[in-house]
């Protein structure tokens, strides 16, 4: 049982480049989330999804887009990367709303934007 899988694990981009981070979960969870974690700060919610075909903005959505075409996958896109987007990105999923349920996290993606 893989749980939540994120790819890639590491990536270096130049300013202005684009990329997509993939998150896949095999637990049939309805809810999926993308967070970023920066030194000295807590995890901050970028976007989330409450089910296939739905997405919503979180706390820091600017500069990111997401898609949830299939229930098991949640993609995070950066159309034009900026150095401020250098961070560790975590995907997570939960069976029900995360406000009451355990979050399962992927192992993270270290992204550096030069």
Q: Closest approach of Cβ 61 to another protein, in Å? A: 12
Asked if 64 contacts 18 with a C-beta cutoff of 8 angstroms, the reply is no
Residue with tokens 């399962």: 104
- Tell me the per-residue interface mask from 23 to 62 with another protein, x by CB under 8 A, - otherwise: --------x-x-x----xxxxxx--x-x-----x-xx---
CA 77 from chain center: how many Å? Answer: 9
Q: Closest approach of Cβ 16 to another protein, in Å? A: 28
Q: Using the rule CB under 8 A, is 106 a contact of another protein?
A: yes
Q: What is the dihedral of CA 55, 56, 62, 64, to 10 degrees?
A: -20
Using the 8-state DSSP alphabet, how is residue 59 labeled?
S
Q: Using the rule CB under 8 A, is 74 a contact of another protein?
A: no
C-beta closer to another protein: residue 6 or 85:
6
């Amino acid at each position: 049982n893989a749980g939540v899988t994120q790819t890639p694990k590491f990536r270096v981009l130049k300013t202005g480049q684009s990329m997509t981070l993939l998150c896949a979960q095999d637990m049939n969870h309805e809810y999926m989330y993308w967070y970023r974690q920066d030194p000295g700060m807590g995890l901050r919610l970028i976007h989330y999804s409450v089910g296939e075909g739905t997405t919503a903005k979180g706390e820091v959505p600017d500069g990111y887009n997401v898609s949830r075409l299939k229930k098991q996958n949640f993609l995070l896109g950066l159309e034009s990367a900026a150095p401020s987007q250098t961070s560790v990105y975590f995907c997570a999923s939960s069976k029900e709303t995360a406000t009451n349920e355990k979050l399962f996290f992927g192992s993270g993606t270290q992204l550096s934007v030069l």
